[in-house]
Every structure is written in C-alpha cells, then in structure tokens.
Amino acid sequence: MEPIAIPTAPETHAGERLQPIFAATARAGLYMHVAFLPIGIAPMQIGLGIAGLSLLALRLTGRRVWTRSFLDLPVLALIGAACASQILAFSWVGGNDTMLWRTLLAPLVIVSVLGLDPARARSEALRLFAVWGIAALAPSLIAWIQQGRPFDPLFEAGLRKKAIIAAAPKYPGHYAALGFFTWYQRLAHNLTPPLLVLAGVALYGRLDRGRRVAAFAVCAVVASAVFFTFARTSWFGLAVAGVVLAGFAGRRRAPWILAAGAAIAVAVVALHPGVRGRVTTATDVHTNQDRIGIWRTCETVMKDHPIVGVGFGNLPKVIGPYFDRIAPRTKIRAWCHNTFFTAYVEGGALLALAVASFFALLARGFWKARARSDAIARGACVGALGALAAMLVHSMAHDFFYASESMYGFGFGLAIAAALALFPAGEAKAEGAG
C-alpha cells in the first residue's frame, strides 16, 4: 500500500507568531499618543515611539507596514531638505534641535498603524478622534480658569518645580491659557489643526443629530481655549480657516456665513478689551520692536550664509553673537519668528522651497481627496484645508516646526483627515496601501 499523505498546517515562523503582538502594541502606542496629545509632551512622545518601534518590529518579521498616501511626498521631501541642509552646513553632529525633523514623521506613523487593519481603519480613526476630543476638553476647561487667575495645574500637583504663568499681552489682570504646556502659543498651535478637522466633519460630514451636536460642543469648548491663549496669530488663523470652511458651504450660504462671522469678529474686537488691545497693536512698531530686532538679526545671519544656511535646527547655536551686536536687548534668542525666513536662514533656497512645497502639496492632496471621498472624509479634508490655512498664518510670526507640541498636533490633524479619506467606510482595502 502506498503511504497516505496527511495534510499538515504550514510551518509558522517565530516572527509571524509575534506579528499580532507587535500590531497590538502599535495600536496601544497610538492610543496613548492621542490620549496625551493635548496634555503632556512626554507621554505623547512615548506613545508615538512605541507605535513607531512596533511598526519597525513588524517590518523585521517580514510584514509590510508602510501605508502610502499623499502625505508621503511633502513630509519626506521636507525631512530630506532638513537633513541635506545639516550635511551641507556641516552641522549634522549638533544638539537635539537638529533632530526635531523627527516630529514630521508623526502623520506617516499614524496612517501606517491604522493601515495595519484596513477593514477596521475607518472605525479606528473615528475612535481615535473621539479620544482626542475627550482629552482636549481637559486643557480647554482649565483654560477658563487660567485666563482669570494664575494657575499651573502641574505645579499645583507637584509635577513642576516652578509655576509657569503667562500674563495676557495688553490685558492687565488677566492671563494667557497654557493648559498643561509651557507657553500659550504651543497650546494654541497644538489644538488648532484637530479642532478644524473636527469642525469640517461636523459641518459637512452628514453626522446624525446626536454626534453633530457633540462635535459642535467639543469644537466650541476647544475654540474657547484657543481664544483664551491670547495668541494673536491663532485668532487670525482661525478667522482665515473659517473663511476656508465657509467657502465650501455653497454660493447661497457662504456669503451669509461670512457676513455673520465678520459681524461677530467686529463685535468681539469692539467689546472685548483684551482682544482690542491685541488686534490694534498688531502693526504697532513700538510694540513689536523685539520682532523687528529678531528679523534684522536673522537678515545678517542670512547674508553671512547665503547659499546653504547654517543647517536645520542650528540657528540657536550660532545666532547669539549676532544678537549681542545687532539687537542686544532682545530676550528671545532662537529662530526668526517666521517659518519661511527661518527656513531660508537655516537651509537656503532648498529648505525654504521644501517648506513652501510642504503646504502646497498637502493642500493639493486634500483638495483632490475631497473630490473622491464620502461625506465624512470630505468634511475632514475641508477641515484639513482650513488647518493648513491656519498654520500658514501661524508661520508668518512663529516657528512652530521646532515645537514638538505644535507639530504633533498638526501631524495628528493631517493624519486623521488623510486616514478618513484613505480608508472609506465599507471597504477592506486602503487606497494606495502596500
């Protein structure tokens, strides 16, 4: 008799058996990152690090983990230009500032973790968004306390040796909201992009009544926190983003929405002394003397390094003597308080072009994704376009690429909108995944 062949299960390698564990830790790290995104820099970084290392471990076991999207080109091009500027300027062995380009990887990590299970990616993305909405309520509600009296929750809890308090500019007796962060601009920049993506979903996502009401409620509370930061460019950024969002309301409704928004803005400026003081001094030369000194100093650095710059993240190391000579009274001695100006000083035309391309390519990607998505994804893409507009306004007076809190908030807003567009409801395969 011939031997009977008994079928056996295919051999499973040790790496394959570990894949479910690594996938689970990647998702756990991502949830940790999002839960602490508006609250604390250390846990948000640890969570993202766990997610990223888990993806790397999965790749080493043979599983493909990269989810391609329209985020890849602008993000990787900017990282490449930043690293190239360091090499060309011989500054790649600098301090921690030269590694801040790593925050740019956040949206790619988030999208790739969601792409590990394309069939559940849409629902997972929405759950993550809900986690962010709940977490964002904490600093937003604390902002109501902080704007009226000096209050540092981390100091009160014994987690910070010295209280960090910021007086509200041009509003005596009041204070700028910091949430749990170290300065008010960082809170505003961290909250703004996800807030606008959520606003886009609430406006255009065709949610059921209960979810729409909840989304608008979260938007209102978080927007109040941005307002209480008294960060002037954040107000202007929200105003510009509002115009972008209203522009998708249609020819009939958009003019009425814009008119109502303009009327509310004028009323707030006229009636609120803190807002009036900040807005009316926006172009005052005497009030902005420090900013003028910073720009003159950066101009001199640029003239001394006109082609390759001083290297990404290297400006704080070299600009001190320039300040001593040109603007010795300037207290904040770091970057140029203008993202594009800083990019040119640190990396010449190459890095400045990469920053401009970053905004342009992302806007193009979300515009095209909006046209071929379902209602929720369209709303998210519209919100992402508003977020890009707001952050572009911020870039005129701040260097948010060097603040981890700002970039992680920006990255999450971009990633969640892209994920909702990449993983349509009811489809088991992501567009461009592989």
| Digit-coded pLDDT (tens) for 122-131 | 999 999 999 9
Q: Confidence band (pLDDT; 50, 70, 90) for 427?
A: very low
Pull the structure tokens for residue 148.
């009226």
Widest pairwise Cα distance in the chain: 102
Phi, psi of 428 (to 5 degrees): -95, 5
CA distance 22 to 17: 10
Given a cut of 50, is residue 428 above it in pLDDT?
no
The pTM assigned to this predicted structure is 0.92
pLDDT for residue 253: 86
Query: Which has the closest alpha carbon to 223: 261, 197, 192, 200?
Result: 192
Cα distances (Å, whole numbers) of residue 267 to 227, 230, 270, 273? 15, 17, 5, 11
Cα distances (Å, whole numbers) of residue 108 to 77, 303, 418? 13, 36, 10
Average pLDDT of the residues of the chain: 90
Domain ranges in the chain are: 21-55+92-294+366-422
pLDDT mean over 23-41:
97
pLDDT mean over 360-364:
98
Give 167's strand partners: 175
pLDDT mean over 350-369:
97
pLDDT for residue 285: 59
pLDDT mean over 358-362:
98
- Contacts of 170 by beta carbon, 8 Å cutoff, 6+ apart: 274, 277, 278, 281
**In this predicted model, which residue has the larger pLDDT, 275 or 242?**
242
Residue given tokens 């993550």 in the structure block: 128
Given a cut of 70, is residue 288 above it in pLDDT?
no
Orientation of helix 118-146 relative to helix 14-35, angle to 10°: 30
CA distance 166 to 229: 9
Given a cut of 50, is residue 429 above it in pLDDT?
no
User: Which of 160-174, 286-300, 369-383 reaches the highest mean pLDDT?
Assistant: 369-383
Q: Are 90 and 396 spatial neighbours (Cβ–Cβ below 8 Å)?
A: no
Q: Are 170 and 278 spatial neighbours (Cβ–Cβ below 8 Å)?
A: yes
In sequence order, what DSSP letters do the residues of 399-416 get, joined into one string?
-GGG-HHHHHHHHHHHHH
Phi, psi of 304 (to 5 degrees): -80, -20
CA distance 416 to 103: 16
pLDDT for residue 95: 53
pLDDT mean over 142-158:
93
Given a cut of 70, is residue 433 above it in pLDDT?
no
| Digit-coded pLDDT (tens) for 177-202 | 999 999 999 999 999 999 999 999 99
Phi, psi of 167 (to 5 degrees): -70, 140
Helix (H) or strand (E) holding 155: helix 153-156
Q: Are 112 and 194 spatial neighbours (Cβ–Cβ below 8 Å)?
A: no
Query: Which has the closest alpha carbon to 434: 187, 159, 111?
Result: 111
pLDDT for residue 344: 97
Helix (H) or strand (E) holding 218: helix 209-228
Residue given tokens 């994804």 in the structure block: 377
Comparing 33-42, 90-99, 304-313, which segment has the lowest mean pLDDT? 90-99
Comparing 11-25, 160-174, 372-386, which segment has the lowest mean pLDDT? 11-25
| Digit-coded pLDDT (tens) for 394-425 | 999 999 999 999 999 999 999 999 999 999 87
Q: Are 80 and 104 spatial neighbours (Cβ–Cβ below 8 Å)?
A: no
Q: How many CB atoms lie within 10 A of CB 271?
A: 9
Q: Confidence band (pLDDT; 50, 70, 90) for 278?
A: confident
| Digit-coded pLDDT (tens) for 324-348 | 999 888 877 888 999 999 999 999 9
Q: Confidence band (pLDDT; 50, 70, 90) for 362?
A: very high
Exposure string for 206-240, b = 16+ CB within 10 A, e = fewer: ebeeeeeeebeebbebbbebbbbbbbbbbbbbbee
pLDDT for residue 12: 54
Cα-trace Rg, the chain: 23
pLDDT mean over 302-314:
92
